[in-house]
């Protein structure tokens, strides 16, 4: 059986659902279905400085999707985006907010896109679902294990169709690679290595606290996070290196890469977790999260290794990121560029497969998948639903908690918490500040 026949005839069983090989983009569906006036969907986007805007520009490629509102706490960002040539022809029709709650009151909005720092994701998603909106929320879905769980509960209560921004789940070659892993041709897999070396990601130098830039509502940016003076090294892109707002590379890239490690192994949650690392490369820069982190997750029949480093690119197998499934017969190595199978020298099973390159734009098709699920009113079509995203986000949070507590941790699947009550008290949830309340789902 050649590669094409193998992929065609293989169904991929994921950790939380079913994938179909050779996912077809929503554009093909559009060709067969005219978009009527009743099928027009209006989008409002919260947080438009980075991925929130990228996601919005992608979803506007879907026929019948309209941008009708934007929300951001930085007026300079709003001005920049409204002058984007892609929205120039209709920018006067876009309503502008700096308070997302007022945006949620806009009746003609069907879909909310959330592209804010991580510490806002849970509250905004829950509020949007309660307001009857469908939601696309950036990864990781929550900034704590407790937030992940309340977001799952909110989706179940309100019934909104929610897509999480782990767009690799809409990439054909990732799904093809999982088909091969599940075929058994690699032999027993004893170790999965997840490598994340990001040379372009370096924290800023330490700078003095200052007044917020003109046009920035800093109190709104902080939201439920602890009250602290404004500091440029924590603002915009660099929020991800501070525990109050995010979880470093572990949650930024980890939810993408650990996701497929778990899917490949059809794994649930680890038994034990050990995270070791520190500010080894950049001890004098501003970040709180580690620039180097190695985490070992113990599962029932295999080990999962997370190996991450900021500021350098030369990771495992000559890649700056990858997932490697190490079997007795061969190793499958997968990244955003493609996948290949490297044979063991002594293996009698000939399973060598050269690099199979990426064949679609997963980020684009992730938006297509989301809109198709909304138009067909079928949440089962979603490629990355809240429950599956929460699963992997919890695993990433476990690694960070082990590192921060400097302890080897044991997780009780039965009780859905760590065995150490002190760890549960200090790390499962984050306290909300500034008058904001942790979402409660009855």
How many domains does the chain divide into? 2
**pLDDT at site 32:** 58
Spell out the residues 6+ positions from residue 345 whose beta carbon is closer than 8 angstroms to its own.
none
Strand partners, 356: 339
Predicted local confidence at residue 35, as pLDDT: 66
What's the CATH number where 341 sits?
3.30.360.10
Sheet bearing 292-298, strands edge to edge: 353-357, 338-343, 330-335, 321-327, 189-198, 303-310, 292-298, 272-278, 409-412, 417-418
Q: Based on the fold, state whether residues 140 and 201 are members of the same structural domain.
A: no
Residue-level pLDDT at 351 = 79
Q: What is the DSSP letter of 406?
A: T
Instruction: Round to whole Å and give the CA distance between 57 and 36.
Output: 21
Same domain as 184, residue 141: no
Q: What is the pLDDT of residue 175?
A: 95
Closest CA to 225 of 140, 144, 125, 317: 144
Residues 105 and 249 in one domain: no
pLDDT at residue 350, as a whole number: 73
Containing structural domain, residue 416:
177-358+390-427
Domain annotation covers residue 226: yes
Q: Looking at the domain assignment, is residue 442 inside a domain?
A: no
Question: Would 415 be classed as within a structural domain?
Answer: yes
Q: Which pLDDT belongs to residue 38?
A: 67
Residues 194 and 312 grouped into a single domain: yes
Within a domain: residue 435? Answer: no
Q: Are residues 164 and 182 in the same domain?
A: no
- Residue 223, by phi and psi: left (phi above 0), alpha (psi -120 to 50) or beta? left
Is residue 438 assigned to a domain?
Answer: no
Using CA atoms, how far apart are residues 209 and 377, in angstroms rounded to an integer? Answer: 48
pLDDT, position 27: 54
Q: DSSP letter at 189?
A: E
Whole-angstrom Cα distance, residue 115 to residue 110? 17
Tell the residue number behind the tokens 């209709």, with chain if given.
Answer: 90
Q: Evaluate whether residue 54 is within a structural domain.
A: yes
What pLDDT is recorded for position 39?
79
DSSP 311: S
Phi/psi for 211 (5° steps) reads -70, 145
Q: Does 165 fall in a domain? A: yes
User: Do 157 and 195 share a domain, yes or no?
Assistant: no
pLDDT at position 34: 66
- Same domain flag for 280 and 153: no
pLDDT tens sequence for the chain (442 residues): 333 343 334 333 333 333 433 344 455 555 556 666 667 999 999 999 999 999 999 999 999 999 999 999 999 999 999 999 999 999 999 999 999 999 999 999 999 999 999 999 999 999 999 999 999 999 999 999 999 999 999 999 999 999 999 999 999 999 999 999 999 999 999 999 999 999 999 889 999 999 999 999 999 999 999 999 999 999 999 999 999 999 999 999 999 999 999 999 999 899 999 999 999 999 999 999 999 999 999 999 999 999 999 999 999 999 999 999 999 999 999 999 999 999 988 766 677 899 999 999 999 999 999 999 999 999 999 999 999 999 999 999 999 999 999 999 999 999 999 999 999 999 999 999 999 999 999 8
Residue 379 and residue 403 in one domain: no
Whether residues 297 and 422 share a domain: the answer is yes
Per-residue tokens: 272: 């034990």
C-alpha dihedral (381, 383, 386, 389), degrees to nearest 10: 160
| Same domain, yes or no: 194 and 231 | yes
**What does the pLDDT read at residue 22?**
38
Residues 139 and 49 in one domain: yes
Pair (186, 244) in one structural domain? yes
H helix runs in 20-170, sequence order: 26-32, 51-59, 75-82, 100-104, 121-130, 145-158
Is 141 a member of any domain?
A: yes
Contact of 210 with 231, CB cutoff 8 Å = yes
Task: Residue 127: name the closest of 94, 104, 150 by CA.
Answer: 104
Task: Output the domain CATH number for residue 99.
Answer: 3.40.50.720
Q: Give 333's strand partners.
A: 324, 340
């Amino acid at each position: 059986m050649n590669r094409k026949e193998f992929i065609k005839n293989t169904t991929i069983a994921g950790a939380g659902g079913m994938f179909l090989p050779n996912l077809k983009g929503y554009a093909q569906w559009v060709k067969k279905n005219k978009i009527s006036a009743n099928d027009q969907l209006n989008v409002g986007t919260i947080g438009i400085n980075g991925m929130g805007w990228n996601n919005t520009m992608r979803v506007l490629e879907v026929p019948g999707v309209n941008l009708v509102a934007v929300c951001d706490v930085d007026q300079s960002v709003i001005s920049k985006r409204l002058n984007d040539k892609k929205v120039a022809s209709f920018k006067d029709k876009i309503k502008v907010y700096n308070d997302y709650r007022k945006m949620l009151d806009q009746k003609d909005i069907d879909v909310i896109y959330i592209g804010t720092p991580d510490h806002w994701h849970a509250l905004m998603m829950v509020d949007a679902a309660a307001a009857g909106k469908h939601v696309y929320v950036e990864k990781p879905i929550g900034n704590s294990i407790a937030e992940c769980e309340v977001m799952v509960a909110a989706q179940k209560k309100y019934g909104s169709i929610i897509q999480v921004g782990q767009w690799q789940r809409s990439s054909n070659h990732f799904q093809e690679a999982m088909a091969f892993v599940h075929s058994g041709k690699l032999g027993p897999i004893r170790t999965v290595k997840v490598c994340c070396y990001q040379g372009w990601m370096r924290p800023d130098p330490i700078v003095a606290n200052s007044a917020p830039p003109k046009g920035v509502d800093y109190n709104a940016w902080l939201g439920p996070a602890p009250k602290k003076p404004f500091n440029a090294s924590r603002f915009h892109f660099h929020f991800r290196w501070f525990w109050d707002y995010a979880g470093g590379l572990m949650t930024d890239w980890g939810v993408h890469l650990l996701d497929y490690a778990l899917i490949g192994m059809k794994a649930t949650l680890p038994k034990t977790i050990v995270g070791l690392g520190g500010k080894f490369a950049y001890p004098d820069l501003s970040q709180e999260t580690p620039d180097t982190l190695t985490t070992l997750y113990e599962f029932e029949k295999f080990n999962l290794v997370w190996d991450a480093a900021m500021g350098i690119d030369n990771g495992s197998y000559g890649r700056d990121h990858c997932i490697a499934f190490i079997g007795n017969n061969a190793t499958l190595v997968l990244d955003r560029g493609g996948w290949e199978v490297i044979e063991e020298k002594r293996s009698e099973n000939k399973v060598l497969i050269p690099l199979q390159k990426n064949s679609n734009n997963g980020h684009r098709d992730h938006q297509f998948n989301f809109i198709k699920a909304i138009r067909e009113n079928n949440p089962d079509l979603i490629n990355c639903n809240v429950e599956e995203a929460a699963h992997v986000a919890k695993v990433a949070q476990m690694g960070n908690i082990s590192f921060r507590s400097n302890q080897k941790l044991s997780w009780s699947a039965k009780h859905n918490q760590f065995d150490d009550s002190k760890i549960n008290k200090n790390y499962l949830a984050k306290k909300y500040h500034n008058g904001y309340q942790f979402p409660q789902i009855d």
